[in-house]
Structure formats: C-alpha cells, structure tokens
Amino acid sequence: MLKLGVNIDHVATLREARYRGRGGGEPEPLEAARLCENAGAHGITVHLREDRRHIQDRDIWKLRGAIQTRLNLEMANVPAILEIALKLKPDIVCLVPERRQEVTTEGGLDAAGHCSDLAETRRKLNASGIEVSLFITPDPEQIRAASQIGSQFIELHTGAYAESYHEIARRDFELNRLMASAEFAHSLGLQVNAGHGLNYHNLPSLLRVPHLVELNIGHSIISRAVLVGMTQAVQDMLALMAPYRPGQ
C-alpha cells in the first residue's frame, strides 16, 4: 500500500499571516494533523525552517507528543536544527536544501557534493534511532551518493514532473526519469519516497513509478481543505493513490 504523508506547513503559514510572533493563534497545526490522521493519512510532515516562516518550535513538540502515526521532520543540514532534531526524535528526518529567499524548496539536495557532512549527520540521527531520507533530484549520481551516505530513504523531487505536466513530451521525459531513478535506488537497497508539486491532477500518472513507499503532499491538500474540509481532502487523495502497485 502506498502511504500518504501530509505536509501541514501551510496550516501554520495561514496562522502566521495573522498571529506571527504572538505565540498562538489559528488555525492550529496540531488539530490539522489530528484530522489528517483520522482521515487515514499514514504520517505528518513538517519543515522546521531556519527563519521559522511557518512551523514554529512549539508546533513540533506538540506534534511529537500527540500524533499517532509517523512524524517526518524536514530540515536543512545545519547544526542548530540538527540539535533540535536529536532532542525531538521524530520517526524520520528528511534532509533538504534551504534558501531564505525561496518560496518553497526549489530543488534537490546536492548529496554528491556534500557526502562527508551528510554522512556525519546521518550517523548522528541513526544513532538516536531516527531514520534518514535525502530529498534529491532523480539523478543517478545523487542516488548513488545517497547510498554511500547510508541513508535509509530517498525522496525523489517530483517538481520538474509536476511543472511539465501539461507539456506531454516533457512530462513523459520527467516521468521516465523518476521511473528509472526509483528502479536504480531500489537496486541499491534504498527505500523510495516522492514529493513536491503533486496534486489531484498529476498524481494518477505518477503511479507508474515503481517501488514507492510514501508520497509527501502538502499544498494541494491544504488548498483543497479550504474548500471541502481536511477530512475530505485527505480521503480524496488516498482514493487516487489506492490503485498503486509497487512492483508494476
């Protein structure tokens, strides 16, 4: 069964638009997480950014103590956030690139260019009982580096596929890259997640990618939830994912 991790960052984005710096406010990310879990989501994803633009430290501690599924903490490989992660002990950490100017994560991590640093962080996280994923582009060099680093998972960046979805030739090219990358990662013993830009329109075609364990989806689900409610938004996405067969 293909699992769904719901990224609830943009619940906090909405709260911070009105209540930034006030230590509270609405909507509450924890309540959103509970609704997602009750609707059938298999995990909750949050990105604790260095600039704290949406998720705050208090949010991750509330989530760690309350959610019943699996907490995936996205984070940059920086000492201050790593220190928090080692105390928080999420179920899994996904290491991502991060730039202050970006609206959302713009690309994959350069695992091949930072093998030593990432391997050291991976060792510290694993020693604390935390699984590690690397958010990378569907590229053989990056996948091979992820294996050398010793991460348990990779998360394939699906942004190029999502952005090219309405251009058939480009979409097919990016889909083939994802399929080949998943096969290669699986052959190296890596578990494969995917995410970025996925929505209710482009997800069905992505189900051709083999060996997927989990999809991490945020903005599209939160956007739909504004109109139909969180429970319905999550269940609609799960229904689209239901036909998936990992070895196809």
What tens digit of pLDDT does each residue of 98-135 get? 765 544 556 789 999 999 999 999 999 999 999 999 99
Active site residues: 47, 74, 196
246 occurs within a structural domain:
no
pLDDT for residue 246: 83
46 occurs within a structural domain:
yes
pLDDT for residue 61: 98
125 occurs within a structural domain:
yes
Residue 214 neighbours by CB distance under 10 Å: 24
Number of domains in the chain: 1
pTM above 0.85, yes or no: yes
Question: Which residue is listed with tokens 């909750």?
Answer: 44
pLDDT for residue 100: 54
Tokens read off for 42: 């298999």
137 lies in which domain range? 3-241
Q: Which residues of the chain have pLDDT under 50?
A: 102-103
209 occurs within a structural domain:
yes
